[in-house]
Amino acid sequence: MKAFVICAALATSAVAPAFAQELVARQGDDSVRLSDSACKSELVLGRLAPGVAKQYRSASALFQGQRFVACWRLVGNAAHLVYEDGDQGIIPATELKPDLTA
């Protein structure tokens, strides 16, 4: 089970419905990237209720050297992530920064 769950509130201004670049949360060598492109992972989409699946955007995580595919959506003031293996997480606004390396 991935322990990379960063818990806190996500300010609405930090993740607007559309943004030009990826947002990244880093914790040591681990990271999560949020993209504005639509979620295309059939494994994640299959775990979601059909009515909300269209709201999820693409995400990826690097945890202990392993890459994971995920999808996310804004829920209230939090970004909710769902990974292909069913794990879930929340990302705080204080950890999200524009990706300056892209």
The pLDDT assigned to 21 comes to: 75
In this prediction, residue 7 carries a pLDDT of: 35
At residue 73, the pLDDT reads 92
For position 19, what pLDDT does the model report? Answer: 55
Could you please report the per-residue DSSP string of the chain? -------S---TTTS-S--SS-EEEEETTEEEEEEEEEP--HHHHTTS-HHHHTT-EEEEEEETTEEEEEEEEEETTEEEEEETTS-EEEE-GGGEEE-S--
Q: Name residues of the chain where pLDDT drops below 70.
A: 1-20, 101-102
The pLDDT of residue 76: 75
